[in-house]
Amino acid sequence: MTHYPSKLYVETTTRCNLRCSMCVKYAEGACIPEKDMSLDVFKQLEPAFPTLDTLLLNGIGEPLMTPRFPEMIRFAREHMRPEASIRFQTNGMLITESRAVELVESGVDTVCLSVDMVSEDGIFHGGESVDRISHVFEYFQRAAKSAGRSVTIGVEFVLMRENAQSLPRSIAWAAEHGAQFVLVTHMLPYTETTVDQELFNSNTEISMAEFMRWQAEADAAGFDLSEFFGLGWKFHKTPEQRELVRFVTSRQQAALAKNIPINLKSLLLWASPEKQAEQQWLASILAKAQQIAKDMGVDITLPPVAATYDRTCDFVEQGVAHITPDGDVRPCYFLWHEYSCYMDGGEKRITPKTFGNIMESSIVDIWNSAAYRTFRQEVLEYDYPYCSNCSVVPCSDVTGSGNPFQQDCYGLTIPCGHCLWCMGGVRCLL
């Protein structure tokens, strides 16, 4: 493990000029106060700057609403290596040509615009029309040329049922305007009303393949797998029902012996003709988006259709620390704030994980503290359960419904077994 963070995710403000319907900040149960990071708090990060690869000025809010934002960038650039990157993500609504010049001259070298859909009716983010952001590309291009600096511009799209069809068109639009990269992520529902917009299949691709094999065998034997539920508690079973129980339990045991997680109810749902058709539809959209990006010379990051069996925490793998406006140090985007989200048919309550505050201890000392090092080591072992693929999900161990998360069914104190980032569904600018 390195003795310094490689990347810092610094939330300079939680305020925003838009009210996007899918944003965690405006969801019921979110406890995210309106807060700006002061320049004094920001300067406390200076001990980490000389060794950073990347500084990301991002969070729940719109960074351009931060007072003295350009000063923060200049301060960081003065203390960072020339080849290190300073990045931020924005809805673009507050960017003017003069502001683009100021940001470039301050030291920004990567800008990511948040856009959810480009249709024949315009450009949208969070349901809001943001047509004027089409000029942001040329503002930064001219500012970079004038300053003699290289600035990378990209776009992020949040994939939902209502906007998925527009993804190929949106990527073409971004490329035509000069975007050099595109980041596509699934949505994490923060409200019950947005659950039906989620397209991500939280069953692993290996679990789905195993189940589809079972289903073919069941069809050949004349079994209806949906009839299995409840038979375990039924004392008097017909011979056919006993055969069905033996069929399912033998295959469950075989799967578990191969460490293939099985959630039969969820697998039945996602193996239905309707869901299979939807997954094929989404896969075709992602394939088209990939081809358009390749043809137009744009780097693209796409999410999987279903959860990845080999899990990865990009935040810990890449040495990222997250800093709140008050200076609290937290390990990842998932555990950055207190809020609720909806996963696997139930509400999940998130309690942030804090390892210290930069106004009280050095960021380097916090990074090297025993608690933080142990946390990162346990994350990287990837020994936690596949919670979404468990037959009792959502259980109180991981939902935080009664008390904040303490440990999962394996006895681990890290809540990573039930994290969409770790499953590959949600991606962030890094």
Q: What is the pLDDT of residues 75-98, one digit of tens each?
A: 999 999 999 999 999 999 999 999
Is the separation of the CB atoms in 14 and 32 below 8 Å? yes
Averaged pLDDT, 297-318: 96
Is the separation of the CB atoms in 86 and 80 below 8 Å? yes
* Residue 421 pLDDT greater than 80, yes or no: yes
Averaged pLDDT, 213-231: 89
* Residue 232 pLDDT greater than 70, yes or no: no
Averaged pLDDT, 37-52: 98
Q: pLDDT band for 51, please (50, 70, 90 cuts).
A: very high
> How far is C-alpha 28 from the geometric centre of its chain's CA atoms?
20
- Percent of the chain having pLDDT more than 90? 77
pLDDT at 315: 97
* Residue 120 pLDDT greater than 90, yes or no: no
Q: In the chain, where are the structural domains located?
A: 7-197+276-389, 201-271
Q: What is the 3-state secondary structure (H, E, C) of the chain?
A: CCCCCCEEEECCECCCCCCCCCCHHHCCCCCCCCCECCHHHHHCCHHHHHHCCEEECCCCCCHHHCCCHHHHHHHHHHHCCCCCEEEEEECCCCCCHHHHHHHHHHCCCEEEEECCEEECCEEEECCEECHHHHHHHHHHHHHHHHHCCCCEEEEEEEECCCCHHHHHHHHHHHHHCCCCEEEEEECCCCCHHHHHHCCCEEEEHHHHHHHHHHHHHHHHHCCCHHHHCCHHHCCCCCHHHHHHHHHHHHHHHHHHHCCCCCCHHHHHHHCCHHHHHHHHHHHHHHHHHHHHHHHCCCEEECCCCEECCCCCCHHHHCCEEEECCCCEEECCCCCCCCEEEEECCEEEEECCCCCCECCCCCHHHHHCCHHHHHHHHHHHHCCCCCHHHCCCCCCHHHHCCCCCCCCCCCCCCCCHHHCCCCCCCCCCCC
Q: pLDDT band for 263, please (50, 70, 90 cuts).
A: very high
Residue 233 exposed, middle or buried by CB count within 10 Å (0-12, 13-18, 19+)? exposed
Averaged pLDDT, 103-131: 89
* Residue 271 pLDDT greater than 80, yes or no: yes
pLDDT at 241: 87
pLDDT at 326: 97
Averaged pLDDT, 58-82: 96
Please give the Cα distance from 299 to 51 (Å, whole number).
Answer: 26
Is the separation of the CB atoms in 327 and 376 below 8 Å? no
Average pLDDT of the chain?
Answer: 93
pLDDT at 21: 75
7-197+276-389, what's its fold?
TIM Barrel (3.20.20)
* Residue 127 pLDDT greater than 80, yes or no: no
Please give the Cα distance from 199 to 185 (Å, whole number).
Answer: 11
* Residue 42 pLDDT greater than 90, yes or no: yes
pLDDT at 95: 95
* Residue 192 pLDDT greater than 70, yes or no: yes
| Angle between the N-to-C axes of helices 97-106 and 69-79, in degrees from 0 to 180, rounded to the nearest 10 | 30
Averaged pLDDT, 346-365: 95
Listed range (98-107, 316-325, 377-386, 397-406) with the worst mean pLDDT: 397-406
Task: Using alpha carbons, select from 110, 36, 41, 42 the residue that is nearest to residue 79.
Answer: 42
Is the separation of the CB atoms in 184 and 292 below 8 Å? no
pLDDT tens for 145-182 read 999 999 999 999 999 999 999 999 999 999 999 999 99
Please give the Cα distance from 354 to 324 (Å, whole number).
Answer: 10
**Per-residue b/e over 257-286, b at no fewer than 16 CB within 10 Å?**
eeebbbbbebbbebbeeeeeebbeebeebb
Averaged pLDDT, 223-236: 79
pTM: 0.93
Please give the Cα distance from 132 to 122 (Å, whole number).
Answer: 10
pLDDT at 1: 66
* Residue 257 pLDDT greater than 70, yes or no: yes
Strand 329-330 and strand 320-323: the pairing is: antiparallel
Averaged pLDDT, 285-303: 98
Q: pLDDT band for 261, please (50, 70, 90 cuts).
A: very high
Q: Which two tokens mark 375?
A: 């946390």
| Angle between the N-to-C axes of helices 273-295 and 167-176, in degrees from 0 to 180, rounded to the nearest 10 | 10
> How far is C-alpha 111 from the geometric centre of its chain's CA atoms?
18
Strand 152-159 and strand 128-129: the pairing is: unpaired
Averaged pLDDT, 64-73: 97
